[in-house]
């Protein structure tokens, strides 16, 4: 099995980032919630960062899977056949 760990990791970060981004967008006008962070909507900005990171990992994992699928299968030990 050739599972690239970037795919599930990317999905996890993408979904977490999406949830944080939506929450940050929904609470963008709540000054009391963001008083401790000097008025910066940390949920929104970190959500975007996590979403971008997760999407990058997912796409790199998919690209790696496509490259592996294009490679010819390797010969196993003791396999003397050559050709197709």
The string of pLDDT tens digits covering residues 13-69 is: 999 999 999 999 999 888 888 888 888 899 999 999 999 999 999 999 999 888 877
- Would you say residue 76 lies in a domain? no
**Closest of 11, 21, 13, 14 to residue 42, by C-alpha:** 21
- Would you say residue 75 lies in a domain? no
Q: What's the CA gap between 16 and 11, in Å, rounded? A: 8
- Would you say residue 26 lies in a domain? yes
- Would you say residue 54 lies in a domain? yes
Counting the structural domains of the chain, the total is 1
Q: Which residues fall within 8 angstroms of residue 19, CB to CB, at 6 or more apart?
A: 47
**Closest of 65, 69, 20 to residue 46, by C-alpha:** 20
pTM: 0.76
Q: What's the CA gap between 21 and 84, in Å, rounded? A: 50
What is the extent of the structural domain holding 39? Answer: 7-64
pLDDT at 75 over 70: no
- Would you say residue 53 lies in a domain? yes
- Would you say residue 57 lies in a domain? yes
Are the C-beta atoms of residues 24 and 44 closer than 8 Å to each other? yes
Given this model, what pLDDT does residue 81 score? Answer: 62
Given this model, what pLDDT does residue 77 score? Answer: 67
- Would you say residue 51 lies in a domain? yes
- Would you say residue 2 lies in a domain? no
């Amino acid at each position: 099995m050739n599972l690239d760990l970037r795919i599930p990791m990317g999905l996890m970060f993408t979904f977490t980032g999406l949830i944080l981004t939506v929450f940050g967008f929904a609470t963008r006008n709540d000054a009391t919630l963001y008083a401790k962070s000097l008025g910066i909507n940390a949920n929104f900005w970190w959500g975007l960062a996590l979403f971008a990171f997760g999407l990058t990992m997912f796409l790199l994992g998919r690209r790696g899977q496509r490259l592996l699928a294009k490679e010819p299968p390797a010969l196993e030990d003791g396999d003397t056949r050559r050709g197709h």
